[in-house]
Amino acid sequence: NYNRFFNSDGTLRSEFSTANVTLEIAGNMKNKKFIFANANVNFTNPGGYSLTNSSIRVKTNSVVSLNNINVDRIVYELTDSNYDRYFSSDGTLRSEFRTANVTFEISGNMKNRKFIFTGGLFNLSNPKGYTLTNSTVEVKSDANVTLDNINVSMVTYELTDSNYNRFFTANATARTDIIKSNVTLRVASNIKNKNFTYTTSNVTFTNPNGYNITRSTIEIKANANVSLNNINVDRIIYELTDSNYNRFFDNYSIARFDMLNDNVTLRVAGDIHNKNFTFTNGKLNFTNPANHVLTNSTIEVRSDAEVTIENIKVQMIRYELSENNYHNFFNDDGTSRSNVIHDNITLIVASNIKNKNFTLQNARITFINPAGYTLYNATLNVTANAVVYVSGLTFNNTDNRVNTIVLDSKNNIINSSMINVGGSDEITALVINKDNNTITGLNITINNNAYQKPSSAKAISIESMDANKKITATQITNINIAIQGVNTSNPLYLTNTEDVLINNITVNTHDALDSTLLSLENSKDVTIINSQFVSNNGVGLIISNSNDVLVDNNYINTTSDYTVEVYNSTSTNVTNNGLYAIVQEGDASVNVVESQSSVHDNNLLNSLVKITGKLTVYKPSKIQVKVTDLNGNSIKYGNVAIMIQDNLQDSIFENGTATCTYTPQSMDDVDVLAVYTSPNKLQITNNTTLKVSMIATKIALTSVSV
């Protein structure tokens, strides 16, 4: 009697669609459709008869109560107007509709709706593409919901250990028919021995309740954009390409993603151009197993980050080096870790560092300190064919180490750095053992401290232990050396060297029992120019067994008999210097012994200042100040300042004589001070003072040079 109640298309006849109608199954049925339109009926099967190959559709404006009706498929048409019939106020599907094989079919535009499925097997379908504005779908772990053409703001699936296979294939790849864009996968139980590979789409993977995910990994392919929230797994792998670079790095090239879990691998998956990579924290592997090309790119690793770089070839890798991360780069014995410190590496000091050694080897390295931190009790050793550029390092050593910097390789540059040492019995601040090294802008201070007075101190030592093999092509420029309170000092100690330039350096030793400002032995082609050497207790420059040495345009002031001593040397020229020994000055302070073709000439003499004139009380009186060299020759350059009773007088300096006019106003004694300043730094600024007793109206001025 099916046809008595249903039309040929399966629609319930209108005369049976009234309220309070119950249709009761009274026998087995097959191949039947039950379509309810504009109906308000009960459809029941108390006898449990079978309904084979049959389906039910409940139209939008129908209300049908089903009781023990088991068919292949039940379709409910869903609209904004009948939403409350199926879903409660919080968006949860009502329990009476949680049966198997149910399809909810969107049949009109909807907005501001939640669709929450807590259990059962459902389809949520939108075959006609109606809009679902500001709406969401949430599928709990016990529900299995297939979404067809459902475009909402967010779809959330609960993921558990037991329903993992619903979302991921046997090879751990996310099922693209389920894990689509705007999907959130929310962990809802502990999970173990599961991997998660995302290949496409914009997905959120979250674990708000902090469930354990053990022995698991996540891999995010280049075309997938996955946001991870509180996901703690053994390893997270991101694929990086030129096109998805901005997903991982901001406008300042700083990594965007969370590295705090110390388990991230960033894997290059395509050629990358003109991109930089800055890592600020956490632990990361940056790897390139497929040998993709990275052109015009750099890497910077800040001090709070630990990044292992594998097969990444870029223009430069910069590491921040701190007290805390020292062992990321150096072994316990101070040698550099070869898997980290290799060619084109820059080390940037990022904190004060104490009691550490830095041995750099077999690589081209830059070592800089732009923020001005200090290395306390530290030694830099450059060895085993390393080539190092150093800039801005500050060493402060007070322990018993002998050396601070040792260059045991070629072609290194030390620039704009500072060494402060004192504490060892013997000190050699900088040692150069190989060719082609350049030292510039270095300040070296050596002194005693409360614990140790050094017995021997060298600031810079260039010494070849093989007399037949000289150390060549060394440049030492713009250097300041100060040594105080040691027994024996040799600020510059050069033995077996060749082609050496010493330019614009300042050496000052004070309170040393014995000092040799510069010692040059068995050397060739050495140029010492534009420099200043001063000692209050010691000798100046000693040149022995050397050839082709030029000492020019230097200021040398010592307390010894000579400023420069030349022994058994050839072609040593000492010219155009300001030379001041304890007695001799100028050329006379150069001692040449058993040397051939050596010249000491045109070395400037000291200046003498003499005051002359007569003073008459209440009358303008002329005062003259004459400036001469030790031979009485007028010095006609520079300037003279005349002070009377601490008042600067107007004066004119011409042809070696300064003249002023002074009118005494009383018979009080008068102090006259004359100060000569030479424009040539090689001449000492000199002065004399005359005290005049006003006991007569005319007093002749005399003076004694000081």
**Which tens digits make up the pLDDT trace of 171-196?**
999 998 898 888 999 999 999 999 99
CA-CA distances (angstroms) from residue 261 to 140, 253, 283, 305, 338?
A: 28, 21, 7, 12, 26
Instruction: Give the other-Cβ count within 10 Å of 220's Cβ.
Output: 26
Instruction: Give the other-Cβ count within 10 Å of 626's Cβ.
Output: 21
Q: Which two tokens stand for residue 350?
A: 């990022």
Q: What integer pLDDT is reported at residue 155 of this predicted model?
A: 95
Q: What is the CATH number of domain 607-701?
A: 2.60.40.1930
Residue linked to tokens 């002023």: 660
Reported as type and span, the H/E element at residue 120 is strand 120-125
Q: Which of 29, 38, 40, 20 is nearest to 2 (CA)?
A: 29
CB 54 within 8 A of CB 71: yes
| Rounded Cα gap, residues 93 and 85, in angstroms | 9
CB 123 within 8 A of CB 97: no
Helix (H/G/I), strand (E/B), else coil: 656: coil
Q: How far apart are the first and last CA of the chain?
A: 140
Q: What integer pLDDT is reported at residue 704 of this predicted model?
A: 41
| Rounded Cα gap, residues 390 and 384, in angstroms | 17
Rg (CA), the chain: 46
Q: What integer pLDDT is reported at residue 683 of this predicted model?
A: 66
Q: What is the mean pLDDT of each run of 10 residues along the chain (706 residues)?
A: 93 85 94 93 94 95 92 95 95 88 94 94 95 96 93 95 95 91 94 95 93 96 91 93 92 77 87 95 91 96 91 93 95 94 94 97 96 97 96 94 95 97 87 96 85 80 86 96 90 96 94 87 95 90 96 91 94 90 86 85 74 83 85 84 90 92 84 83 70 48 43
Reported as type and span, the H/E element at residue 683 is none
**What's 684's DSSP letter?**
P
Q: What integer pLDDT is reported at residue 295 of this predicted model?
A: 95
| Rounded Cα gap, residues 563 and 579, in angstroms | 6
Instruction: Name 187's bridge partners.
Output: 159
Residue linked to tokens 């060749």: 498
Instruction: Name 157's bridge partners.
Output: 139, 185
Q: pTM for this one?
A: 0.76
Q: What integer pLDDT is reported at residue 681 of this predicted model?
A: 65
Q: Which of 446, 443, 523 is nearest to 489 (CA)?
A: 446
Q: What integer pLDDT is reported at residue 425 of this predicted model?
A: 81
| Rounded Cα gap, residues 573 and 599, in angstroms | 5
Residue linked to tokens 């060739």: 524
